[in-house]
Amino acid sequence: MKLIAFGLLLLGYIQYFATPDSEVIALYEIRTMLNDSRGVLNGWNNNQVSPCYFPSISCNQDQKVISITLSSSGLSGFLSPSIGKLLYLQQLLLNDNNITGGIPQELGNLSSLTTLKLGGNSLNGSIPDSLGRLSKLQNLDMSKNLLIGNIPTSLSNLSSLNDINLADNNLSGEIPKRLLQVSHYSYIGNHLNCGQHLISCEGNNINTGGSNNSKLKVVASIGGAVTLLVIIVLFLLWWQRMRHRPEIYVDVPGQHDHNLEFGQIKRFSLRELQIATNNFSEQNVLGKGGFGKVYKGVLSGPHGRKVAVKRLFEVEKPEGEIAFLREVELISIAVHKNILRLIGFCTTTKERLLVYPYMENLSVASRLRDIKLNEPALDWPTRVRIALGAARGLEYLHEHCNPKIIHRDVKAANVLLDGNFEAVVGDFGLAKMIDRERNTVTTGVRGTMGHIAPEYLKTGRPSVKTDIFGYGVMLLEIVTGERAVFPEFSEGDSEIMLNDQVKRLVQGGRLTDIVDHNLDTAYDLQQLEKMIQIALLCTHVEPHLRPAMSEVVQMLEGNVVPAEQWEEWQVAELARRHQHEMNQQRRLFSFSEESLNIQEAIQLSSGR
């Protein structure tokens, strides 16, 4: 009975906690078996609700993963069998890395796959015969690996295949006849033959012409050498003339700027930003988000201004372009002391870059949880000031911008701190503008687990109220120093929401147990109580009962929470808990009654 009760209790909790998408879990499992020396998979976390905003991932309209693009990404380790769980995958590009181990049989489950590129790795073992089930496969590249054995005859079933490259492995035996009839193929660098005549297969490009070809090669070589010599001389002459001229910054050829014009925002040349960031050196990386990586930079000039340069991923894809245009437009509209100001941007056919002021004290999250040696923790007055500054920034976005703006990913990591520890709300990569006639927009769920409002998870419709929920969770992060979701060690390997943990402590009268241990006792108890009350009001399960950000600002400025609002919250929370317990008891009783009926039926049956 204890086991049954525990199972029912677990089912009840599932209603209140969102579980990650199955494709999110599969991608996370793939990441755990790969060694990521460059950090290209840092965004592949299992606490996300959708994989469609992971770096190097593309999805279809149904939010299913259809493409993984990780060519030349410095990956090593093993390819997880979990790759076979991405049933809608059409393109898998893992070529030119250093992945080892065998090729998973589970690749044969990807019935929609059209392109599979695993060349230039250190894969070993044999080619799985399950690949013969990939009926839509058009392009197969497994060249430059350590593969052995025969080419599976099942590959003859790939009727759509028009390009296959198995060169430079250690394969042996005969090549299936069908694979010698595709449009493009290469099997060189193996121990293969073309059938009964044992003719070495060097690909399907046959050279003819004998001595004529040799003569043409000699003439071509001489002509090439002369051309190269002329180019070198011209380059030396040009360099001699240009070496003493002052440096002039110009954009790369083919720049395309979409005619973006936003007042005082500067359009930088790509060369300026390359120099500022030391050619986007990995040593200058400040962080990485769903759409891009952020670099620290120093602009040329007498003042040497420090900047943060956000370099967007996959700019040739629609979502990368949309992200760029959205951020430039939104941030140029939003001008406020507590809103991250855009300095400028750069756009070319292959690059989209945004330039912001450099925030000396990074983010609230880093100052709460990534404290360096001999670096002081945020004191209580600073935390109160940060909470108020972030509230004012969100109030501006919600109530004073035209059109209004929903942030959609309010959390401590997205609130930055300048040199004076003033809060600056940043990262509008997930933001959406609100039409004047509406107060919500319809879109896919985006954000971070633990900060997402329950109604947003259910409906996929964000609103200012979902931002207010995220702010309430962030307020609890500021008070506790904890993450929004953290391990519950007393319950094994499970996780608990910070919001629920704080409720438990408040209802148990253990208010001081909530405070960040780095503060010791250096905090105002009355302010602590009010901030926790404000946070819990903001995370009210009913969206319409959450205060507006202007009300939150008034509460923080006056250090007063209206008594009636707090009493309403307590009554609603008590009713919610009572209803939850009743539902649990009802399920348990129903299950027990059904079990007794089954047991009685078994006894009657055995009596016959």
Positions marked active-site = 409
Q: Show Cβ contacts of residue 198 under 8 Å, excluding neighbours closer than 6 positions.
A: none
Dihedral over Cα of 593, 599, 603, 604: its sign: positive
How far, in Å, CA of 166 to CA of 288, rounded? 36
Q: Which of 231, 273, 229, 225 is nearest to 249 (CA)?
A: 273
Backbone torsion region of residue 314, taken as left when φ is above 0, otherwise alpha when ψ lies between -120 and 50, otherwise beta: left
Dihedral (Cα; 214, 220, 223, 225), 10-degree rounding: -90
Report yes or no: 522 and 380 within 8 Å, Cβ to Cβ.
Answer: yes
How far, in Å, CA of 21 to CA of 116, rounded? 24
Beta partners for residue 193, in sequence order:
174
Beta partners for residue 76, in sequence order:
35, 98
Largest CA distance in the chain: 108
Report yes or no: 450 and 458 within 8 Å, Cβ to Cβ.
Answer: no
**Amino acid, res. 515:** V
Whether the upstream peptide bond of residue 55 has omega within 30° of 0, thus cis, is no
Report yes or no: 137 and 107 within 8 Å, Cβ to Cβ.
Answer: no
Start-to-end CA distance of the chain, whole Å, equals 29
Q: Which of 119, 173, 164 is nearest to 146 (CA)?
A: 119
Report yes or no: 192 and 172 within 8 Å, Cβ to Cβ.
Answer: yes
By the 10 Å C-beta count (0-12 exposed, 13-18 middle, 19+ buried), 106 is classed as middle
**Amino acid, res. 153:** T
117 is in an annotated binding site: no
By the 10 Å C-beta count (0-12 exposed, 13-18 middle, 19+ buried), 87 is classed as middle
Would you state the structure tokens that stand for residue 21, as one six-digit string?
């998408």
Bridge pairing between strands 75-78 and 57-59:
unpaired
**Amino acid, res. 2:** K
User: 179-182: which pairs have CB atoms within 8 A and are 24 or more residues apart?
Assistant: 179/151, 179/155, 180/204
How far, in Å, CA of 469 to CA of 108, rounded? 43
H/E element, 92: strand 91-93
How far, in Å, CA of 311 to CA of 355, rounded? 9
Per the annotation, binding residues are 310
* Residues annotated in a binding site for ATP: 310
